Every structure is written in structure tokens, then in C-alpha cells.
Structure 1
């Protein structure tokens, strides 16, 4: 399904608690007084955490309500979201658009907000589609998006005389030259399990196209298909140019290696390197689209996840939660957020983009010019399949990229079980 118009309007225009603490805290705040709303947040890194707090401070000042935030390590929150929602969730929580939202809506774990959407403006039809469940009702309030691309330092490319690759062959040749020059070509860290998904998504969309990728994510294609094997063959050819020990390295460490000029480039989402570069070095950070593999598919698809907010079906203070969601859907909320976190792009067409830096402007142009938009593997497929099968599969591949057939047979067997029998 093409989402050519996705976000076009927007383009124009410290310490986290552990899961047990989260489960104990969720819903345990003052309930029923009408003035307090609780929020579960995965914004555990310093930059997004401050940005969100700035938005909530503005809401509190405007509304007279109080927002109690339960911040949880991003990875922990993501891996345990199902248990969280079936336990004692907060009134409102941070999450993702598209399939990952629809999955929980179908299970009755989210509160419908279709009536609020009738009063929203500034969101494109494509954004509304990404906020809509399989039942045609709205559940999600989008806040911002960010593209995945290949990031690099301008000064490193200038010093090495490197040119931006447009094709996969040029991409591989560039990696080979960087290695000859004594530079690790690709920054790479997959300790958290999900960062490698970005590389897979682009390899698959470039080699086989967006439609095949979406069908594969939906469980409609076989992982033993020769087209999928080709993707892993291409990836295996790149592995010698990746930073070694990726399964023991976080994405933060990988992005820092780029900032420290220890690596030449890396496939990241914009906030990842953006949060690791100092203000002084930020002007040196740049990116280019993942290169073309086949002319048929070119560079049509762009990975651009949308983040935002949902209300739990178990919300204790529904009225206050709905008031908060209405505020989060305003241009003012997005503008406040992006002042502290310039690593994302606003989705509301009415948001002021005059203060955008070069990376934000380039990100908006990249996404608005895309023919198709993907949401990232762990958002475009079932959450249980992503977390229990694909995280381990990619880490196994990183450890041993030669046993592709065995790897894909294992993925396919587990996929059949999950997509035909698993309902959670």
C-alpha cells in the first residue's frame, strides 16, 4: 500500500526504572480525582525525556492538571508492552503508529478516541490511516516522525575523498576503501536486538520492493523464499565491513563511534546519532538514502517510524487523559517538544518549522519524496513475532552469517506457529 502523501504537509509547512517498578507503579497514582493523569513513557534517554517533560509542563500550566510520568528503559518498555497493558497500565502511554497500535486495539487494550479526531486538524489522511485500527476507529495521537538512513560525518568523507554512493555496488566499494584506509566502515550495535532491523528492512525493500516487504511482515510470504535468502546473502557480503562484536554493543555506543570518527557510516534512525553528537559537532552530521539495489525498486521506500501516544482501555482518569491527548495533538505541543529534541520532524502541518536545522529539513524532504513509507520491522509485524523470533534470529545471523538456510528455516517454522495460532 503506497503512502506517498504520508507527512507531506509536515515536510512543507536519567534514570529509568525497571519493569517490576513499572508494573508496581502503573495505575497506582491518585485515581479518580480528575486532576491527575499518569503517563507510561519509554523516553528514557536524556534528550527525549527532557523534551517530553517540557511538553507536559506546558500542559500542566495550561490545564491545571498534573501529569505523573513513569519512565522506563526504552527496550524494557518495548519488550514488555503486552504484559504492561494487561496489568495495571498508566492512563496514557508512549507508543508507535501502524500495526503495533492496531494489534493492541484489536485485543481491547486501547481506548478509542475517534470523537477526539473529529476535532483534530493538521494531520494528513495518511497519518489518520496510521492512527486507525482494523475496525476503522482512531486510537493514536501522532507527535513526530524520523527517517532511517545512512549517517556519516562530512569531515570524514571530505578527508577520505569519499563520494556518496547511489548504488549497492558503490556502497560496498566505499566500505572496502574505508577498510583499506584503516577505518571501520559501518558502525553497528545490536545488543538491544532491534537496531539491525533497520538494515534488514532496507535491504529487503531495495531488493524485493515495498509490497513484498509488507507481505513478509504480515506473515503472508515464506522466509525460505529465494528472495529472502538473497537479502541475507547481500547482508552477509557487508558483514566483514561492520564493527565486530555488535551483539555486545548498544546503539548508543555505535553512534558514539561515528561521532568519534572511529567508524565511517552507519544505518540509524535520525534520533540515534543525533542524540550522541555534541552541539558543536552537529553541523558535521549528515545522511544519505540507503542505496539502490535493483532499478525496479530504486530508492522508492523510506523507513520513517511515527511516534505518539495512546490511552489505555483501563485508564483511571479518562477525562484528564483525553484532555492531555487533545493537547498533544496541537502544533504548540509539537513545537515545544522539538525545541528540546531537534532529532525528529513534526507531523502537524500547522507546526512552525522555521527553526528546523539542516538535518530536519533534509529528513522532511526525504520522507515527503518517498513513494512508500515503512514503520520499521518491529512495528510492521506482530510484536510477539518481532520480539521472540526476529531479535534472536538477527543476533544469530550476526554471530554466524554463513548458516542462512538453517536460520531461515527456523524463522519460517516459528512464523507459521505464531501467525496461525498465536493470538497475543
Structure 2
């Protein structure tokens, strides 16, 4: 679609808006976003915060030392609400989970989705080829001078220091994170591995450029997504309120007020 419309990967917010407008004018909805499980919209909020306010502020927000009513958070929500007001997102948020988002993307019901690296494999299973049928790009710059931080959901193994077999548990963790096991994972899944030392050549030819782009993004600070980065009490409100915001974007201040109320309650305990 980008090639057909003569579009290139947007680097700045103005370029991003220009891309969205041209896609909309062509008859396709620019963005696909579901909210069936509640966590899907959190990626958008996180990236808006990272691009408007930066990593340090976002860390403070997750740790409870920054306010959801801060002007920078309000600005982020206003930018997001503007996209919604322009009709840039597919309707039916509550009925779409991330798998449905992929299906709608494959059908070209929408042009762009914000999702984790695992989506690459799912799209390939659906018959799409990286760099031919789809590509990846980082969230564009909004505030000049901020590092292009990235975020995602990282779930890992852990070993109890008080376990009955801690020594072998640690040996297992060392094994699965080592180059040999991670290379096997890369060959099987064509997904980026946790071990960045895996040679790009082990990935199948169509995915190498995509994997390289993902690894290149990790040169900037990495953040755990909101669902796993902040107090569960705040996450509960976020997963309830952001899906509602997608339908009622004019109520963004009510969303922020509820988040702020919960932040004050859980972090002051």
C-alpha cells in the first residue's frame, strides 16, 4: 500500500499525519486497533508518552512519582484524540483482539497497526512476505531531542534463590539464554531473540531486514509496557478506561482523572 501511494516511512509527527491523511483519502482506514482484552491500546498511550515526554518522565509515571494530569500527558492524549476524531482508526474496537487486528490487516481493511515483533510471524503464516507485503517502522518523533525509546511486553524465566534445586535452575536459565538455544529459537520462529548476538544469517532470507530493524530500535532505551510496568491497580483502570476512550475521545480528561485518582491511592499506601 505504501508503494502504491508513493509513501515512505514517516520519521516525524507531521510526516505521520501526512501518511495517515493520504491513506484515508485513498479509501483505506489508516490504523487498526482493537481493545477486546484491554491491553492493546496501552501500546499507543505508552508511545505517545515516550515521544511527548521522554523516558525519564515515563519511568516516573509508571513508578507513581509523576502525575497523569501533567500537561505532557494531557498533550499526549490530545494528539491521540485528534487521530480518533479524524476517523483514522477502524471502528469496532471492543470486538477486536490482536488476532483480529492481524486478520483485518491481511485483508487490507487498515494500513498500520502498533503491535509487538511477534506479529511478523503471524503475518507470514497468513501468507504475507516481509518487505514485499508489509514492513516495520518505529513510532515517529513528536518532541525533538528525545531518544526514540521503544517498548514491549517481555516475559521471562526466573529462578527462586530459596528453591530446593537452585543450582540446576540457574544452569537451565543459562542454557536457554545462550547462543545455541537462542539460535534454535530464531530458526524455528523467525522472531527476534533475546540474545542479540545471534547472527542475522540464521533467519530466513525474507525476515532478515525486518529483524535487523527491530534490533536497531533497541539501540534506544527499552521500556516494559504499561500493563507490566506499573502498579496492578493502575493497570486495572488503564485496561478499562482506554478502550472506553477510543469510543469517546472527547472524554480523555475523565480517563486521566481516574488514572490519577488510582495512582494517588495505590502509591501512597
TM-score, normalised to structure 2, is 0.88
Per the alignment, in what secondary structure is the counterpart of residue 114 of structure 2?
A: strand
Counterpart residue number, 2:89: 242
Counterpart residue number, 1:358: 209
Instruction: Decide whether aligned partners of structure 1 residues 339 and 412 sit closer, same or farther in structure 2, where only a CA change above 3 A counts.
Output: same
CA distance in structure 2 between the aligned counterparts of 1:223 and 1:279, rounded to whole angstroms: 39
1:278 aligns with 2:125: yes
Spell out the pairing of 1:384-423 with structure 2 (5 A cutoff): 384-386=233-235, 388-421=236-269
TM-aligned CA deviation for residue 317 of structure 1: 5.5
Answer with 1 or 2: which has the greater Rg. Answer: 1
TM-aligned CA deviation for residue 378 of structure 1: 1.9
1:162 aligns with 2:1: no
Per the alignment, in what secondary structure is the counterpart of residue 200 of structure 2?
A: coil
Counterpart residue number, 2:69: 224
For the 8 Å contact 2:234–2:259, the answer to whether it is kept is no
Please list every run of 5 or more consecutive structure 1 residues that lacks an aligned counterpart in the other structure: 1-155
Which of the numbers 36, 41, 48 marks the counterpart of 1:203?
A: 48
CA distance in structure 2 between the aligned counterparts of 1:201 and 1:234, rounded to whole angstroms: 13
For the 8 Å contact 1:165–1:291, the answer to whether it is kept is yes
Counterpart residue number, 1:45: none
For the 8 Å contact 2:34–2:40, the answer to whether it is kept is yes
CA distance in structure 2 between the aligned counterparts of 1:312 and 1:301, rounded to whole angstroms: 31
1:258 aligns with 2:105: yes
Counterpart residue number, 1:30: none
Per the alignment, in what secondary structure is the counterpart of residue 374 of structure 1?
A: strand
CA distance in structure 2 between the aligned counterparts of 1:315 and 1:257, rounded to whole angstroms: 46
TM-score, normalised to structure 1, is 0.58
Q: Which structure shows the higher strand fraction?
A: 1
CA distance in structure 2 between the aligned counterparts of 1:206 and 1:397, rounded to whole angstroms: 20
RMSD: 2.1
Instruction: Decide whether aligned partners of structure 1 residues 279 and 414 sit closer, same or farther in structure 2, where only a CA change above 3 A counts.
Output: closer
Counterpart residue number, 1:331: 179
CA distance in structure 2 between the aligned counterparts of 1:212 and 1:416, rounded to whole angstroms: 17
CA distance in structure 2 between the aligned counterparts of 1:325 and 1:345, rounded to whole angstroms: 15
Counterpart residue number, 1:12: none
- How many residue pairs match? The answer is 261
Please list every run of 5 or more consecutive structure 2 residues that lacks an aligned counterpart in the other structure: none
CA distance in structure 1 between the aligned counterparts of 2:53 and 2:210, rounded to whole angstroms: 28
Counterpart residue number, 1:189: 34
CA distance in structure 2 between the aligned counterparts of 1:314 and 1:256, rounded to whole angstroms: 45
Which of the numbers 383, 395, 404 marks the counterpart of 2:232?
A: 383
For the 8 Å contact 1:255–1:273, the answer to whether it is kept is no
Spell out the pairing of 1:81-160 with structure 2 (5 A cutoff): 156-160=1-5
Runs of 4+ in 1 over 4 A off after TM superposition: 312-320
TM-aligned CA deviation for residue 173 of structure 1: 2.2
Which of the numbers 313, 325, 341 marks the counterpart of 2:189?
A: 341
* Residue deviations 1:122-142 (CA, integer Å, cap 9, x gap): xxxxxxxxxxxxxxxxxxxxx
TM-aligned CA deviation for residue 227 of structure 1: 1.4
For the 8 Å contact 1:274–1:282, the answer to whether it is kept is no
